[in-house]
A and B are shown apart, each in its own frame.
Chain A
Amino acid sequence: MREIISMPFFVNAIAMCVIMSLLFGMLSFFVVLRRMSFLGAGVAHTAFGGVALGLFLGIDPFFASLAFCVLAAVTLGRLVSRDGLSYDAGIGIFFAFSMALGAILIAVRKAYSFDLMGYLFGNILGVTTFDTVMAAIALVLLYLFVGLYLHRLLFMSFDEDVASTSGVRTGALDTLLLALMAAVIITGIKVVGIILISALVVLPASFGLLLSKNFRLVIAWGILYTFAIMTGGLALSFVLDTPTGATIVSLGTALYFLAMAFVRIFMNK
């Protein structure tokens, strides 16, 4: 056991657990309150097209999917705010198109050695130092952004029209939030995969909202919850010999419903 703990892949995995907890605990708060949960899932699926495009063009799949997803998220945000497209319809279109594009490009490139399962379901034990550094950069950017704009983001999430007429630059903030959301999701795909990442986008804030009515505590609970399910899921998958990403998400879902039952029974809600 001591040997495993000292191995680089395990150190990277634990570092990634800490970074992911801070990233998704915070991101989830704004995604859930702005009712953009489905957008998170859509952006993650869009990453598949980006990865395939990277393989096709010979660009690093991480940077290709990062650029592709940021562009897709920002374009979608603009289409919704300026042209009246609904998020549901927009995500449906982008989602299907990028999955289709990915499938075509992989077939054309004949990239059969491509680790499809790794991208779809993640592999935290395959996290490299490069992945950890990229996630740490995303962490600095997200916390800098929230540190500067927390209350204005809160206002925008609460009442966008009034925030705008009160002087908040809602268009610019929304674009930055969407770009950061795409970047954070891309860094998390390596851990739990494209299919399961939407759970990390939705569950932390949903859990926090069960336990508190104070926005700072909701964020704090979200971070703690994400850390608990990531480390707990990692340990459980080691013991049970199950896929790590799937174990993390299953544990997270179970913990969420347990908390919901606890709140209903003991806090009389």
Chain B
Amino acid sequence: MERPIIALNNVWVEFGSIIVLEDITLAVRPREIVSIVGPNGSGKTTLLRTMMGLTRPTRGTVSILETAPAEIMRTGRIGYLPQERRQDERFPVTAYDVVAMSRFARTAVIERLTRTDRQAIEGALDTVGMADAARAHFGSLSGGQKQRVLIARALALNPEILLLDEPSTGLDAVAQDSFYLLLRKLRDERGLAIVIVSHDIGTVSMIVDTVACIKRKLHFHGKPADCLGSDRLAEVFGKNVYVLHHDKNCPTCRDDHA
């Protein structure tokens, strides 16, 4: 088995007297799509922020690409899409400007895009299917298109891992399906490992390799089918949870049923 590219060992996170994460041990392997699911307030976002070094564990160790999280984030090897995206609709930038931001972030002193930078930006926009909208005002794009541009911004750094916090928030069902298909394409074509934080256990489970159910503790980590059919789901979400199983009529699942 390949060595994990993200490894959390007995990680605890406490905010004062409140225990947010308790003794979490979790490994993510190369080219794996993992979904971290759990109800609101279960510690999903804290777990993601701990992987990136934005939140420090009170106990335990975290390693990402065999490096300490605080050091790896400045190298551009991780692409991150946070949960809170409160950009002003009037913010005067195009889709291209937004993607270019991540390349400018790597500038040493003088901000100037090289040919390599421009190729990375155009390639990232092309990968997410937004090349034609490169000059469009970001604020006037639909929710799904904005998500694609923000993913392109992360991809422009040629990362090895994508960390996505509730990426389907605000997207309609069609845009969600299309977005999840894009993630699978990124894993297949670019060899990315992807960690998705989500409270949507139904749709996400159809595209991921493994599901990690957390509610302060890690209750389950394994194949989605094993999680959906077990009592672990009730442990995490409570008893009144109904999971919608996708079939061959669902665009996201179609490839699996073909």
Contact = CB atoms under 8 A, between A and B. Distances in A.
Asked if chains A and B come from one complex, the reply is: yes
- Residue among A33, A35, A217 facing the most chain B CB atoms (10 A cut-off): A33
Nearest to B93: A215
B202 interface: no
B93 A158 contact: yes
A154 B153 CA distance: 14
Grouping DSSP codes into helix (H, G, I), strand (E, B) and loop, the A interface class, with mixed when no group exceeds half, is helix
B17 interface: no
Given A167-B105, A215-B92, A161 B97 contact: no
Nearest to B74: A167
B204 to A, nearest CB: 22
A100 interface: no
Interface string B79-119: 01110110110111110011011101111011100000000
A149 interface: yes
A154 B97 contact: yes
A151 B78 CA distance: 20
Interface in A202-217: 208-209, 212-215, 217
A163 B93 contact: no
Nearest to B88: A33
A71 to B, nearest CB: 28
A83 to B, nearest CB: 14
B97 A215 contact: yes
Given A154-B97, A155-B101, A167 B76 contact: yes
A148 B112 CA distance: 10
A57 B76 CA distance: 50
A6 interface: no
A148 B111 contact: yes
Contacts, number: 82
A60 to B, nearest CB: 35
Contact of B91 (A33, A164, A217): A33
B87 A158 contact: yes
A218 B98 contact: no
Contacts of B52: 165
A241 interface: no
Interface string A126-163: 00000000000000000000001111101101110111
B73 interface: yes
Contacts of A218: 92
Contact of A165 (B80, B85, B88, B107): B80
A162 B93 CA distance: 16
Contacts of A215: 92-93, 97
B19 interface: no
Contacts of B110: 148
B29 interface: no
Contacts of B74: 165, 167
B137 interface: yes
Contacts of A155: 101-102, 104-105
A162 B111 contact: no
B92 A158 contact: no
A187 B100 CA distance: 34
Nearest to B110: A148
A149 B105 CA distance: 10
B50 to A, nearest CB: 13
A161 B105 contact: no
Interface string A34-74: 01000000000000000000000000000000000000000
Contacts of A214: 92, 94
B85 A151 contact: no
A168 interface: yes
B137 A213 contact: yes
A150 B111 contact: yes
A158 B101 contact: yes
Contact of A163 (B105, B137, B157): B105
B76 A166 contact: yes
19 contacts: A33-B91, A149-B111, A152-B105, A152-B111, A155-B105, A159-B82, A161-B54, A166-B80, A166-B102, A166-B106, A167-B75, A167-B76, A167-B105, A167-B106, A209-B90, A212-B92, A215-B92, A215-B93, A218-B92
Interface of B: 52, 54, 73-76, 78, 80-82, 84-85, 87-88, 90-94, 97-98, 100-102, 104-107, 109-111, 137, 139-140, 153, 157
